[in-house]
Chains A and B, each alone.
Chain A
Amino acid sequence: MSDKHSAGEVPTTGHVWDDDLGDFTNQPPKWWMLGLTASALWCVAYALYYPMIPVSSSSIFSKGLGGWTAISEMEADKSKVDVVRSKFENKLKDMTPAAILADRELTEYVTRSGKVLFGDNCAPCHGPNGVGTKDKNALFAPILNDDDWLYGGKIDDIHTSIAGGRKGVMIANKDLLSEAELDTLAKAVAAGKPTSTPLFTEKGCVACHGPDGKGMAAMGSANLTDSVWRFDNSVEGIKQTIRYGVNSGDPKARIAVMPAFKAAGKLSDVELKKLAVYVYKFGGGKPDQVAEAPAAAAPAAATPVAEAPAAK
């Protein structure tokens, strides 16, 4: 094919490689030249339209004819998300947390969309996904995934805790107890059997922790019989808690304060409700008999706890 291939009268650039290779001085194709020109015009138009030419001082730069800013673009995009979400958000406004929990779709929405809300407001103390955080002594903030709740695990209890905050109180008992009594009490508590020593009743622990030592959610006193611990569960740790109390004003007292998020004004009512549902769904929430009534009335096949197949 190459023998008969005549390139016409086009001259070459004069350079010759490998004995017989030359370069034609052909013009680039017209479409290519048009593309090149269009690209150059595009650069100029782009530079005029968008912010351009930054100088050392941040206030001196061309703002662009189009008035585009990154933040306005972000806001515009965000409003699109808001439109999608408003369908749910509008419903949430007039609903109680329990009603939200009873609605599968809305619960789904809250658990899918609540991560940012929880991450911004709760995770600093309670840890990502509510796994709890520790300081040098023990838990700094409680784990939210388990089923042990100082102030109750029903949806309304959780909502109240978030909205109003919590500050547990336990008096310092260091002047009321001898060292031996302290030791006996601490060991009984550490073993999970606080009522095994008469001191539990005699020294007035029952007033807050209850006659059975299981705590009272109304006042946030801890259940001393279960295996979830708010503070250090070693005998020495328990002794310190008994000696100096919680939030008692004593410099060595345990500190346990949850801020009131409603009073702080940072979260809207809807956000508080969403957070309550979000925390409830971590897995530790306690069914509220009223809200969960439809589920409870379902036939036997629908019992909340299904037995797994027999172990092999």
Chain B
Amino acid sequence: MHPENGTNESGEVAKLYGEFETWSVNLGDRTIHAKRMPGFFRRVKNLTQSALWLPFFLLPYLRWNGQQAILFDIEDRQFHLFSLSVLPQDIWMLSLVLLVAAMTLFAVTSVASRVWCGYLCFQTVWTDVFTWLESKIEGNPNARRKLDEAPWSLDKLRKKALKHFSWMLVALFTGITFSIWFVDAFEYWAALVRLQLPLVGWVVLAMFFLGTYILGGLLREQACFWLCPYARIQAVMIDSQTILPTYDKQRGEPRGKVRHGSDAAEKKTGDCIDCYQCVQVCPTAVDIRQGQQLGCITCGLCIDACDSVMDKVNRPHGLIRYASLDEISGKPAKKMYQHPRTWVYIGIILIALGGIVWGLTHMGTMTLKVIHERQPLFVSMSDGSIQNKYEFKVVNKTGKDFRVSVTAESGIPGQVIVTAENNPNLRHGHGTAFTIFVKAPLAGITAEVTPIEFYLRSVDDPAMFAEYTSQFYGPKR
């Protein structure tokens, strides 16, 4: 760990040693300034994070039939997805969506470790964007470390102010973007520039502004280390069959410095030249050579770094590579189908997806609830008949208003329905309540409680239909 500064080091490889020579456990007591290097995993990461998060910023502006295409309309309690509208009555499907998301996370993690953390997670992505801004303003990691240690000067103040300002812009835009998934994007902007957001709008914006700035700019990898529960959850999803960025100990050890003029034949050390490039590029500043650890978000950037070094010293790629623990320890690799846990996850995903498809195709046109009046349970009328009162609550889930007729079936002879209002009109996208009385001659009532089935039909389209079972109460028998 404490390199002797040999006098005979020179050239490109030797320069690497000068960049970063020690490593200690990341306790969060100093800022991590990770080096940015081009490479395969950097390209993958750029692609995956853009693919997930650019739509987050852009989709709210997409229009569909004159309305926002995707809108979680909290105020009107509706969820719009293109021409589909989901009302709270069908929100149970959301739990299945969440189940699919969780199980996908589990399945992917069991196969390829923390893919979410490394390539997709907002914490990783925003930290990446923030450090990119930092590198544009303050220069490379060495320059940044020097600037941090330097006394305050006008130049330092300018750079720091510019950096924090740019972070705050990103944070502000993040807060705005989050908000416009829940209210109309253009209306939100219009209200924002006039400073006329409602209080809840300001609070949400402030929370996301501060959250993004603090988590992405200041806490960074410390959030993954100490705040994030998924880091822990995903860690236990990993087993010896899971592939993850791994240092090939067999090949790398004992590590040793490359000496100028050394011959391949005299080489007594492993392939690891102990250049710390893998640590230097790590956004969480872990040493992958210490094995699998909680701080590793499996982003693969160390693989890029190591491969580039291997190129320079003419050794084969893959000293650090995606490999399972089985592979590294020389056990025969099991096939994918021998990983039953993954199949359980996939099974649950398929069941949940089936539920969502069923739900979306069976949403129906109306949700009907019938509440029997409890006080009084029944009324004796002047002609000796018994009358019950029911409160109907109907949600019209279609896109237009329509009128409905009510019928009932209880098996009591002579039973009639008395309504105050005939064929009530149901407003679309809303709940409508109305009262229905059911009257039946005492002679026909054989039990204190008789089940009664209510049918609600659209006047225009009998296929639009809902039913509900309630009770008809009479005197004690």
Measured CB to CB, the residues of A under 8 A from B are 1, 4-6, 104, 108, 128-129, 131, 143, 145-148, 223, 226-228, 281, 283-284, 295, 298, 301-309, 311-312
Contacts and interface: CB of A to CB of B under 8 A. Distances in A.
B407 A131 contact: no
Contact of B409 (A1, A6, A146, A309): A309
Interface string B417-430: 11111110000000
Q: Main SS of the interface on chain A?
A: loop
Contacts of B382: 146-148, 223, 226-228
A6 B1 CA distance: 15
B381 A5 contact: no
A298 B420 contact: no
Contacts of A227: 380-384
Contacts of B361: none
Nearest to B433: A108
Given A146-B379, A303-B422, A312-B409, 17 more contacts: A108-B433, A128-B375, A129-B376, A131-B375, A143-B379, A145-B376, A145-B379, A146-B380, A147-B382, A227-B383, A228-B380, A301-B405, A301-B422, A301-B423, A308-B407, A311-B413, A311-B414
Contacts of A301: 405, 422-423, 459
Interface in B374-432: 375-376, 379-384, 387, 389, 405-423
Interface in B117-140: none
A153 to B, nearest CB: 10
A176 B412 CA distance: 47
A306 B25 CA distance: 81
A289 B460 CA distance: 29
A306 B438 CA distance: 10
Given A308-B407, A311-B413, A147 B381 contact: yes
Contacts of B416: 305-308
Nearest to B23: A4
Contacts, number: 96
B293 interface: yes
B437 interface: yes
Contacts of A305: 416-418
Contacts of B290: 1
Interface size class of B (residues with CB under 8 A): 35 or more
B65 interface: no
7 contacts: A1-B290, A145-B389, A302-B422, A304-B419, A304-B422, A308-B438, A311-B411
Interface string B350-373: 000000000000000000000001
Contacts of B413: 311
Contact of A308 (B27, B389, B408, B435): B408
Contact of B412 (A145, A147, A223, A311): A311
Contacts of B27: 5
B375 A129 contact: yes
A205 B142 CA distance: 113
A204 B384 CA distance: 27
B338 interface: no
B83 interface: no
B24 interface: yes
A304 B416 CA distance: 10
Contact of A302 (B24, B376, B407, B423): B423
Contacts of A146: 379-382, 387
A64 to B, nearest CB: 25
B381 A308 contact: no
A307 B439 CA distance: 10
A1 B25 contact: yes
Contacts of A283: 379, 387, 389, 418, 435, 437
Contacts of B410: 308
Contacts of B389: 145, 283
Given A1-B293, A228-B380, A104 B408 contact: no
B422 A295 contact: yes
Given A308-B409, A312-B411, A284 B379 contact: yes
A284 B383 CA distance: 12
Contacts of B406: 306
Contacts of B421: 104, 295
Contacts of B407: 306, 308-309
A298 B444 CA distance: 31
Closest 6 CB pairs of A and B: A226-B382, A148-B382, A302-B422, A227-B384, A145-B379, A131-B376
